[in-house]
Amino acid sequence: MNLDIPGKFAPIVHQAQQVAREVFRPISRHYDRAEHAYPKELDMFASIMDGMNDGAADGGAGAGRLARSAGDTGTGNQNGTNMKTVLGLTELCWGDVGLALSIPRQGLGNSAIAAVANEQQLQRFGKTWAAMAITEPGVGSDSAAIRTTATKDGDHYIINGEKIYVTAGERANAVVVWATLDKSLGRAAIKSFVVEKGTPGMTVERLEKKLGIRASDTAAIRFDNCRVPKDNLLGDPEISVGKGFAGAMQTFDNTRPVVAGMAIGVARAALERTQEILKAAGLNLTYQQQSWTTTAAVRELHLLEAELEAARLLTLRAAWMADNGQPNSKEASMAKAKAGRVGNQITLRCVELCASLGYQETELLEKWARDSKILDIFEGTQQIQLLIIARRLLGKSSSELK
């Protein structure tokens, strides 16, 4: 197994590191305090990223480029868009998670479009900044229990329902809404629709005040007889009971490794800063001693490093499988479960290890601890990921193992 990062990705990793260090870190605290204020500094970066993607021979990077490879191309090992996006966002979240989530045209809705849209829809919506609306009040983590409805009416669908926790829901130019065509048919009837900003019947009800990622707006949106063209239904409009909503769930198989990478980035930031603080306090952080002969703090750091490396390797595997057209639902959930839990564990432990420095706003450690929690929750909670892994390992369907 070759565990080195492909050399061709070195430029984008370096560029992401520069943005994280020179752009994100200096404004991180400002936008944490100025919740819901739009970070205008991101406009230039987004434009640069768009230009790089338009001229990229390998498909570029970012949420709007995430798509599963067609499979074996006969050219051997593929390291493509999924791997590049994971590596780039890992570095950006080393700078700031909330700002990384606020980059124009890099919303989760863009990932949904890339995953299931047809060629015509990719042309129409490929450069649209799209949020993704899945979660509903009372539904929780069960995406198959969606109650928002889409009723066919001639050349349109009429959408009714309410969505909550929509990342970039107010700022984005469109929202990808998950709705059911027929509640009696369960998950098979769930489809996703692109609802463009300003469509009558779509209303942003409120912006949430949050524990972390405050630079990112999180909206509650109501759909009241919201009429959208039938061509805005992403993918196949036919209901296939056998296939279920596998096309929609493929979005998660592509984005869960990305969220895992985000957790790795913020955890690495906390770990590196803690090492700097403890080294300045006189602790010997070399690896020359056995763990039982070191101080408790150093031993703890070594254990956290090992956990972070395990999560990183799981994440790279899941992204590599997507690039090579291999089914990765189990591996994507493994990466998300491990990285989400470990990321939060590391940032909280670093706050403890640095005592008063970790808890005060003189350092970003307390902010990273707050930001990291959402990465263990959205895109499927820890419990949902473990359930998916169990189903894959045991060969059980969702109805057989709940």
Interatomic CA distance for residues 253 and 332, integer angstroms: 6
Distance CA 188, CA 244 (A): 4
**Residue 120 is encoded by which pair of tokens?**
């015509």
Q: From CA 136, how far away is CA 329, in angstroms rounded?
A: 23
Contact predicate 162/136, CB 8 Å: yes
Residue 75 class from Cβ within 10 Å (0-12 exposed, 13-18 middle, 19+ buried)? exposed
Angle ∠(52,375,20) on CA atoms, nearest 5: 40
Given 162, 238, 379, 400, the catalytic residue: 379
What's the DSSP call for residue 65?
G
| Residue 200 near residue 226, CB atoms below 8 Å | yes
Do 191 and 235 form a contact (C-beta atoms < 8 A)?
Answer: yes
Q: Provide the 10 A C-beta neighbour count for residue 15.
A: 17
| C-alpha dihedral (89, 93, 99, 100), degrees to nearest 10 | 10
Distance (Å, whole) CA 342 – CA 345 = 5
**CA angle, 142 as apex, 35 and 111 as ends, to 5°?**
60
The question of whether 162 is a catalytic residue gets the answer no
* Alpha helix segments (H runs only) across 281-364: 296-323, 329-353, 355-359
185-190 long-range Cβ contacts below 8 angstroms, 24+ apart: 185/239, 185/241, 186/144, 187/143, 187/144, 187/244, 187/245, 187/398, 188/239, 188/240, 188/241, 188/242, 188/243, 188/244, 188/245, 189/239, 190/143, 190/144, 190/146, 190/245, 190/248
For the annotated catalytic residues, the residue numbers are: 379
